[in-house]
């Protein structure tokens, strides 16, 4: 099931163009639970889909795991 979810998200553009209208509406509700908002310049989403929220969290955690100076010893300048 997780592999299918990953496939859908990574291939959303292609799938959108191939899906019939009924499936597009379902996919839209999953990716944009509260729809899209256009402010005259750009689109945004009032609520981020659960899948993307988890991605944001894991990316920020990844940066906290590595020391800023790296693994090698710091040499005097």
Using DSSP, state whether 37 is helix, strand or coil. Answer: strand
Looking at residue 74, what is its pLDDT? Answer: 65
Hey, where are the domains in the chain?
A: 2-64
Question: What pLDDT sits at residue 68?
Answer: 59
Per-run averaged pLDDT (10 residues), the chain, 77 residues: 81 90 88 84 78 58 56 65
For residue 34, the SS3 value is coil
- How far apart (Å, rounded) are the C-alpha atoms in residues 41 and 77? 48
């Amino acid at each position: 099931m997780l592999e299918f979810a990953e496939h859908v998200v990574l291939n959303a553009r292609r799938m959108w163009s191939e899906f019939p209208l009924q499936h597009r509406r379902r996919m839209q509700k999953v990716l944009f639970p509260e729809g899209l908002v256009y402010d005259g310049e750009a689109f945004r989403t009032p609520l981020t889909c659960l899948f993307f929220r988890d991605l944001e969290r894991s990316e920020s955690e990844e940066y906290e795991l590595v020391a800023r100076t790296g693994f090698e010893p710091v040499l005097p300048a």
